[in-house]
């Protein structure tokens, strides 16, 4: 299998995807971003959260429990 045939792993997620993974609303996620709990990347008007940042946030015990 060549490099071009392997799918690339997701390195960042948009707000809707990240909120779904964290099981919180978009509004709650934006509140946590404004409070400084999560760092984001901006690409034009779009906002992304990296996989590393999501792992750090969850590992720090900030994510909501189900």
pLDDT per residue, tens digit, the chain (66 aa), is: 455 677 768 899 999 999 999 999 999 999 999 999 999 999 999 999 999 999 999 988 776 655
Which residues form the domain of 20? 14-45
Closest CA relative to residue 53, chosen from 62, 65, 64, 45: 62
Looking at residue 52, its pLDDT comes to 94
- Tally of residues, the chain: 66
Residue 52 lies in a domain: no
Residue 5 lies in a domain: no
Residue 65 lies in a domain: no
Positive or negative, the CA dihedral 38, 62, 24, 18 is positive
Looking at residue 62, its pLDDT comes to 73
Q: How many domains does the chain have?
A: 1
């Amino acid at each position: 299998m060549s490099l071009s045939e392997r799918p690339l792993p997701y390195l960042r997620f948009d707000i809707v995807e990240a909120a779904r993974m964290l099981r919180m609303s978009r509004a709650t996620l934006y509140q946590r971003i404004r409070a400084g709990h999560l760092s984001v990347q901006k690409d034009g008007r779009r906002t992304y959260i990296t996989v590393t940042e999501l792992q750090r946030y969850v590992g720090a015990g900030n994510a909501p429990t189900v």
